[in-house]
Amino acid sequence: MRFIIAIIIFIVFQLYSFQLIRTLSRGHWWKWVYLLITVLILAHLILQFVWHPDRSQVSGYRDFAVTLVLGLFAAQVVMILFMLGEDIYRIFEGLFNTLSRKQEHTSFLPSRRDFISKVGLGLAALPFGAILYGAWKGKYNYQVREYELSFTDLPAAFDGYKITQLSDIHVGSFDDKEEVKYAINLANEQHSDVILFTGDLVNNVASELYGWEDVFGSLTARDGVYSVLGNHDYGDYASWDSPEAKVANMTELQDIQRKMGWKLLLDEHVKITKSKDQIALVGVQNWGGGRFPKYGDLEKASTGLSNEEFKVLLSHDPTHWDLQVKDDPKKYHLTLSGHTHGMQFGIEIPGFIKWSPASFVYKKWAGIYKEMDQFLNVNRGFGFLGYSGRAGIWPEITVITLKKA
């Protein structure tokens, strides 16, 4: 049903934005070429989902079809904004002319201006080109983002402690192992004390990891690699022959993580010791607002911890922070999440603008947030899903240094 609604919205946008093309092609045939191309792009997408209905199976052709539709849709949004703005102006101009009796024998609405349509078409090419670039190069444009966070109650021995966070690997989407190896080496080169992974290792099934074990098993840190599960790791979006098959898939995913040397935290915590000081790493299973599954149990994960102990929480979905974490009397000093991907598309210019369609869905969708002396970091994600690219919201390796205030 959601797919059908999306197609209907795309068609409505197509019909309206086509008016801009008609304005620029008065008396010319190329507007029909544009219309034919857009119809073929939409038909290609529909056929790909008919031929490859199982989302648990990666299809490069289907991903390419999604990329083309997203690029065209983004261009149409820009075109429509220009069209809508001009139409509103034309309505007021028509009303003014009618009331002032300046317009008696012509149509109520003045004609659209070629200049506005040309500007709209030119600017529409920018998001279209950005989405194509994101599918070609942007998805492997890894960025290291470094933060220094200060806490008054950080144990003294952990002053300067470095954490590398990875999230949302989505290994089943990758098509270039060498690029991923480069990124894993880049993560290791940060020489952090611990590496923390905050969920969505796969798209749907454990078998996506076959052949990648050595790559992700090469992650190394002095205090180890710890992980939690994200909503995609449970196999909820795949089709299974039986409930037992789904359970077996989850067991295999957990076994592969352990064989890679990762310590999977399933509603539990561990303590890391330096000198005589300790901090707790608390890992919960996926817990999110809205339609996303609530597998996690925060109370169980922190059983035995006092309110005063310094805690780093791994929780895949950032909505968990607002709904449960930040007001918990246990006080979780730093929460690490992912999940949003920053929708893999947006604009970020430090100190000037930070925007993504993700902001319409999530209050906290990328970067550091602070409330009541507690911090949340939402990692933009290591991989990609759906749209096989990234434009403006680049894949991220987060490095956080803890400092004693």
118-129 pLDDT, tens digit per residue, is 888 888 899 999
CA–CA distance, 109 with 399 (Å, rounded to integer): 57
Neighbours of 34 (CB within 10 A): 15
Output 137 or 116, whichever has higher pLDDT: 137
Count helices and strands in the chain by DSSP H and E runs: 9, 14
The total number of structural domains in the chain stands at 2
Three-class SS of residue 167?
coil
**DSSP per residue, 232-279:** GGG-TTS--SSHHHHHHHHHHHHHHHHHTTEEE-SSEEEEEEETTEEE
Strand partners, 377: 336, 368
Residue 51: domain span: 2-136
pLDDT surpasses 90 at 52: no
Q: Are residues 152 and 260 in the same domain?
A: yes
Q: Are residues 146 and 131 in the same domain?
A: no
Among candidate residues 86, 115, 136, the one where a domain is terminated: 136
pLDDT tens-digit series, residues 254-275: 999 999 999 999 999 999 999 9
Query: Which pLDDT score is estimated for 32?
Result: 83
Confidence of residue 24 (pLDDT cuts 50, 70, 90): confident
pLDDT surpasses 80 at 106: no
Tokens 């849709």 sit on residue: 73
Strands 334-337 and 374-378: parallel
Q: What predicted TM-score, i.e. pTM, was given to this entire model?
A: 0.88
Residue 349 near residue 311, CB atoms below 8 Å: no
Tokens of 151: 């806490």
Q: Are residues 79 and 176 in the same domain?
A: no
Q: Are residues 56 and 178 in the same domain?
A: no
Q: Are residues 216 and 290 in the same domain?
A: yes
Q: Are residues 37 and 172 in the same domain?
A: no
Give the DSSP H/E element, type plus range, for residue 311: strand 311-314
pLDDT surpasses 70 at 2: no
CATH number for the domain that contains residue 216: 3.60.21.10
CA–CA distance, 86 with 77 (Å, rounded to integer): 14
Output 151 or 291, whichever has higher pLDDT: 151
pLDDT surpasses 80 at 112: no
Q: Are residues 44 and 192 in the same domain?
A: no
The residue type of 277 is D
Give the DSSP H/E element, type plus range, for residue 313: strand 311-314
Q: What percent of the chain is predicted at pLDDT more than 70?
A: 95
Among candidate residues 92, 108, 136, the one where a domain is terminated: 136
pLDDT tens-digit series, residues 140-179: 999 999 999 999 999 999 999 999 999 999 999 999 999 9
Query: Which pLDDT score is estimated for 102?
Result: 57
pLDDT tens-digit series, residues 364-390: 999 999 998 999 999 999 999 989 999
Q: Are residues 202 and 333 in the same domain?
A: yes
pLDDT surpasses 70 at 222: yes
Query: Which pLDDT score is estimated for 293?
Result: 86
Q: Are residues 234 and 260 in the same domain?
A: yes
Q: Are residues 276 and 297 in the same domain?
A: yes
Q: Are residues 175 and 130 in the same domain?
A: no
Q: Are residues 109 and 184 in the same domain?
A: no
pLDDT tens-digit series, residues 293-346: 899 999 999 999 999 999 999 999 999 999 999 999 999 999 999 999 999 999
CA–CA distance, 203 with 282 (Å, rounded to integer): 24
Query: Which pLDDT score is estimated for 58?
Result: 58
CA–CA distance, 246 with 235 (Å, rounded to integer): 7
Among candidate residues 136, 158, 183, the one where a domain is terminated: 136
Q: Is the dihedral of CA 374, 277, 195, 257 positive or negative?
A: negative
